[in-house]
Structure 1
Amino acid sequence: MNTKYIDLINQTFDFPQQEFKVDKDQLLFHDIDLMKLVEEYGSPLKFSYLPKISENINTAKSWFAKAFEKHNYKGKYHYCYCTKSSHFNFVLNEALKNDIHIETSSAFDINIVEKLIENGKIKDTDYILCNGFKREQYVLNIARLINSGHENCIPIIDNYEEISLLSEEIDGKFKVGIRIASEEEPKFEFYTSRLGIGYKNIVPFYKNQIQDNPKVSLKMLHFFINTGIRDNAYYWNELLKCLKVYVSLKKICPTLDSLNIGGGFPIKNSLAFDFDYEYMIDEIVNQINLTCQEAEVDVPNIFTEFGSFTVGESGGAIYKVLYQKKQNDRENWNMIDSSFITTLPDSWAINKRFVMLPINRWNSNYERVLLGGLTCDSDDYYNSEQHINAIYMPVYRDDKPLYIGFFNTGAYQQSIGGFGGLQHCLIPQPKHILIDKDSDGNIRTKLFSQQQTHTDFLKILGYYE
């Protein structure tokens, strides 16, 4: 009988997969022996596999290049990294190796950009696209960057007051973009995004505040919807509405030469994940090309702002199953040595799924379990009530410790979880490991941050002066 965990996976999914395979009863992730990682650093731990960042950037670039060639598209493509997905130095350093640009969301982002410029990571020709609602400090920081000579810093106008606020602080001429306030799917609690300016108001706004303003030129139209890039009628309808606005603006605004289609590519959340990225890019490029040809206007340069797609699949977390609690005849609770609320907050806050697999004991029999975290909170769990599929794991044994991994956790989890700060029930934040390759392709690991201590917490709470 096929009763082993590896049999279950082989029968249920197409396995092994590009990043996952099993060798001698243990899981390898991009050929990394995760049990060796556990043996060296212990658990719980988080890790970032840096080469995956560059791989995803260059894969997306190749898809756009292929689509441009196929459709004889005359514009240029610019890949931007959305910093809010992960602001860490090691992420930006890896991403910027690949001739990309940056999208920011708030004031302190500009301080990071200035530090990267100082260290030679960002060039004068690189685009810095400034999204978000701009309070005073954000306006001042953007102005400082532009006044220092970074002409490709482009604030994306989010509301009617920002042109005047920026004009007061910026010394000379500057470029701007305008964000479209997209209309959301009917299931949303609101009809129109709070971000940007409504479709019908874009052209009047341009005429009133930009067209005759000698200080400001319109460079870019920005389009993004909350549900991201999906192959459904809603997405294509919103894209076509955006293109109509672009065409209308282009006919009266010769400086407009770029369309930012935002981010929103999904990332792998299970072994059954299936998304045709290449088709979506090909069809987006095709629709833009056809619309502009029909309207007899030049096609725009295309910008994207991929955040989760850039960094999400580089991250992972490993936990040890400490103990199994049999609470009744049907429920077995595997208790991990950390907390889902604090280390994978999206799994708790928005019921987000991640790829979850055991690290070892793939040749053991399996059982259905629930996974529980250490906090005294009823919501600190990860199970089939929150997620589509039941959780099956190798059978728990006191004498053979089981380790489990959550993968593709590299976007948002550290910042939403409050990296370096207080954690729910004072459960310490795990250590964080960086994984890279040297010039010969050999795996190298480095400790980025230690697990939090009681001293860290007591300092934050004011017990040490």
Structure 2
Amino acid sequence: MNTKYIDLIDQSFDFPQPEFELQDKTLQFHGIDLMELVEQYGAPLKFTYLPQISNNIQRAKTWFSDAFKKHDYKGKYNYCYCTKSSHFKHVLEEALRNDIHIETSSAFDLDIVKSLKKAGKITNDTYVLSNGFKREQYILNVAELINSGHKNCIPIIDNYEELDLLSQEINKKFNVGIRIASEEEPKFEFYTSRLGIGYKNIVPFYKNQIQDNKQVELKMLHFFINTGIRDNAYYWNELAKCLKVYTSLKKICPTLDSLNIGGGFPIKNSLAFDFDYAYMVDEIVNQIKTVCDEEGVDTPNIFTEFGSFTVGESGGAIYEVLYQKQQNDREKWNMINSSFITTLPDTWAINKRFIMLPINRWNDSYERVLLGGLTCDSDDYYNSEQHVNAIYLPKYSKDKPLYIGFFNTGAYQETIGGFGGLQHCLIPSPKHILIQRNGNGDLTTEIFAEQQKSEDLLNILGYGSTEKVEAQTKFEKINYN
């Protein structure tokens, strides 16, 4: 009988897959022996496999290069990384190795830009696209960057006041973009995005505020779909409307030469994931060229803003199953030694789906379970709603430790979870490991952050670093590993 966990996976999915395989009965991720990682660093554990960031950037560049050649597309392609997906230095430095540009969302993002410039990681030729609703500090930081000579810093106008605010602080000629307020999918609670300027108002806005303004040149139209790039009627309809605005604007604005098709690619969230990236890129390029040719305008340079696609598939989290609770005749709860709310907050907030697989015991029989976190919050769980399908894992055994991994978790989870700060129920943030490959292709690891200690949390709470409170001693004795 095929009753082992490996049999279940073989019957349900194509396995092994490019990033997943078994060796010595344990799971490998991009050639990383995950049980070896657990044995060295313990669990709970978070890790970032940095080479995957470069891998995905290069994949996207290849898709666009191939599409440009196929359609004889005249224009340049510029890959931008959305810093909001993960602001960490190791992520930005890995991404910037690939001759890319960046998109910012807030005032403090530009402090990161200044730090990267000082370190020589970016130059004045690097595009810095500044999105989002801008007020005093963000305006001042954009102005400081442009005034210092960063010619390719392009603030993307989000509302009718921003241009005047920028003009008051910038002391030279500068370029801008305009963001389209796209219409959201019918399932949304609102009809039009709060970000940007409505389709019908963009040409009048250009005529009223930019056309005769000697200080400003319009270079870019920014098109963003909240649900990302998908092969569905909604996406193609919104792209067609965007191209209509672009060609109308281009006819009266000769400086306009770039189209930013913001809104990211999906990332793999199950072993059954199937998305034809190359087809989507090819069709987007084809649509842009076709419409521009029909309207008799030059094809624009194409910018993309990929955040989750850039960094998401580099991340992972590993937990140990501490205990199993049989709550009724049907439901078995496997309790992990951390919290979903604090370490994978999107599973709790938006039912985000991640790939979940056991690290070891693939040759054992399996059972259907629910997964529960350590907090005393009833929402701290992961089940079939987040996972697409029912969750099956090797059968719990008190004498045989079981480790499980969540993969492609590299985007947003640290910033939404409040990395380094307070966590729900004071559950500590786990240790975080960076994984790289050296010049010989061998894996190297380093500790980016140790697991939080009780004194870290007590300091934030105002109890002070020198107080030897009894609660601290008790807290440190808790075995989270």
* Bucket of the pairwise TM-score, normalised by the shorter protein: over 0.9
Shift of 1:398: 1.1
Aligned to 1:20: 20
Q: Matched residue of 2:97: which SS?
A: helix
Aligned to 2:457: 457
Shift of 1:123: 1.4
The answer to whether the Cα contact below 8 Å between 2:226 and 2:263 also exists between their aligned partners in 1 is no
Aligned to 2:471: none
**Deviation string, structure 1 residues 386-424 (Cα, Å, up to 9, x no partner):** 442100000111111000000000000000000000000
> What is the CA–CA distance in structure 2 between the aligned matches of 1:42 and 1:387, rounded to whole Å?
25
Aligned to 1:164: 164
Shift of 1:135: 1.2
**Deviation string, structure 1 residues 204-231 (Cα, Å, up to 9, x no partner):** 0000000000000000000011111000
Aligned to 1:29: 29
The answer to whether the Cα contact below 8 Å between 2:3 and 2:365 also exists between their aligned partners in 1 is yes
> What is the CA–CA distance in structure 2 between the aligned matches of 1:233 and 1:162, rounded to whole Å?
33
Matches within 5 A, 1:410-421: 410-421=410-421
Q: Matched residue of 1:245: which SS?
A: helix
TM-score between the two structures when normalised by the length of structure 1: 0.99
Aligned to 2:119: 119
1:395 aligns with 2:395: yes
Aligned length: 465
> What is the CA–CA distance in structure 1 between the aligned matches of 2:227 and 2:89, rounded to whole Å?
28
TM-score between the two structures when normalised by the length of structure 2: 0.96
Matches within 5 A, 1:72-111: 72-111=72-111
> What is the CA–CA distance in structure 1 between the aligned matches of 2:272 and 2:202, rounded to whole Å?
41
Aligned to 2:206: 206
Q: Matched residue of 1:98: which SS?
A: coil
Q: Matched residue of 1:261: which SS?
A: strand
Aligned to 2:143: 143
> What is the CA–CA distance in structure 2 between the aligned matches of 1:227 and 1:349, rounded to whole Å?
16
1:259 aligns with 2:264: no
Aligned to 2:361: 361
The answer to whether the Cα contact below 8 Å between 2:180 and 2:198 also exists between their aligned partners in 1 is yes
Aligned to 1:132: 132
Aligned to 1:67: 67
> What is the CA–CA distance in structure 2 between the aligned matches of 1:263 and 1:117, rounded to whole Å?
26
Shift of 1:385: 4.1
> What is the CA–CA distance in structure 1 between the aligned matches of 2:86 and 2:290, rounded to whole Å?
36
**Deviation string, structure 1 residues 10-60 (Cα, Å, up to 9, x no partner):** 000011000000111100000110000000000000000000000000000
What are the ranges of 5 or more consecutive residues in structure 2 without an aligned counterpart? Answer: 466-481
**Deviation string, structure 1 residues 370-390 (Cα, Å, up to 9, x no partner):** 100000000000012444210
Aligned to 2:270: 270
Which letter maps to 2:288?
Answer: I
The answer to whether the Cα contact below 8 Å between 2:354 and 2:387 also exists between their aligned partners in 1 is no
What are the ranges of 5 or more consecutive residues in structure 1 without an aligned counterpart? Answer: none
Q: Matched residue of 2:317: which SS?
A: strand
**Deviation string, structure 1 residues 168-207 (Cα, Å, up to 9, x no partner):** 0000100000000001111110010000000000000000
Aligned to 2:242: 242
> What is the CA–CA distance in structure 2 between the aligned matches of 1:332 and 1:197, rounded to whole Å?
51
Q: Matched residue of 1:452: which SS?
A: coil
> What is the CA–CA distance in structure 2 between the aligned matches of 1:227 and 1:392, rounded to whole Å?
29
The answer to whether the Cα contact below 8 Å between 2:227 and 2:263 also exists between their aligned partners in 1 is no
> What is the CA–CA distance in structure 1 between the aligned matches of 2:293 and 2:386, rounded to whole Å?
47
Question: Structure 1 stretch 324-333 or stretch 73-82: which is displaced more?
Answer: 324-333
**Deviation string, structure 1 residues 244-278 (Cα, Å, up to 9, x no partner):** 00000100000000000013210000000000000
Aligned to 2:52: 52
> What is the CA–CA distance in structure 2 between the aligned matches of 1:387 and 1:432, rounded to whole Å?
24
> What is the CA–CA distance in structure 2 between the aligned matches of 1:451 and 1:320, rounded to whole Å?
15
